[in-house]
Chains A and B, each alone.
Chain A
Amino acid sequence: MSRMKTKSLIAVVTTLLTSYLLTIPVLAQDGSNESVVNTGSNLDYLFITFAITWIIFFGYLYYIAQKQKTLSEEIDDIKKNK
Chain B
Amino acid sequence: MASMRNKNLGAGRKLFIALGGSAMVLNMYLIFIWVPTEKNLGIVQRIFYLHVPTAWVAFLAFFLVLIGSTGYLIKKSKSWDRLALASAEVGVLFTTVLIVTGVMWAKPVWGVWWNWDPRLTTSLILWLIYLAYLMVRSYAPSPEQGAKYAAILGIVGFVDVPIVYFSIKWWRTLHPQAVIGPGSTGGLDSSMQLLLLVSTAIFTILFVHLLTTRMALRKIEERLEEANHIVP
Residues of A that sit less than 8 Å from B by CB: 1, 15, 18-19, 22-23, 25-27, 29-30, 33, 35-39, 41-43, 45-46, 48-50, 52-53, 56-57, 60-61, 64, 67-69, 71-72, 74-76, 78, 81-82
Contact = CB atoms under 8 A, between A and B. Distances in A.
Nearest to B46: A46
B220 interface: yes
Given A53-B101, A69-B7, A60 B93 contact: yes
A37 B44 contact: yes
Given A45-B104, A49-B50, A26 B33 contact: yes
29 contacts: A19-B28, A22-B32, A30-B42, A33-B37, A35-B40, A35-B41, A36-B40, A37-B108, A42-B42, A43-B43, A45-B47, A45-B104, A45-B107, A45-B108, A46-B43, A49-B50, A53-B100, A56-B96, A57-B97, A57-B206, A60-B93, A60-B210, A64-B217, A68-B216, A68-B220, A71-B217, A72-B5, A72-B220, A75-B220
Given A49-B47, A53-B97, 11 more contacts: A25-B33, A29-B37, A42-B42, A49-B105, A53-B50, A56-B96, A56-B97, A60-B93, A71-B221, A72-B5, A81-B231
Contacts of A33: 37, 39, 42
B4 interface: yes
B214 interface: yes
The 10 A-B pairs of least Cβ separation, nearest first, read A42-B44, A22-B32, A49-B104, A35-B42, A71-B220, A42-B108, A39-B42, A78-B227, A45-B108, A49-B47
A36 B29 CA distance: 26
Interface residues of B, number: 40
A64 B132 CA distance: 21
B217 A37 contact: no
B108 A41 contact: yes
**B44, B105, B227 pick with most chain A CB within 10 angstroms:** B44
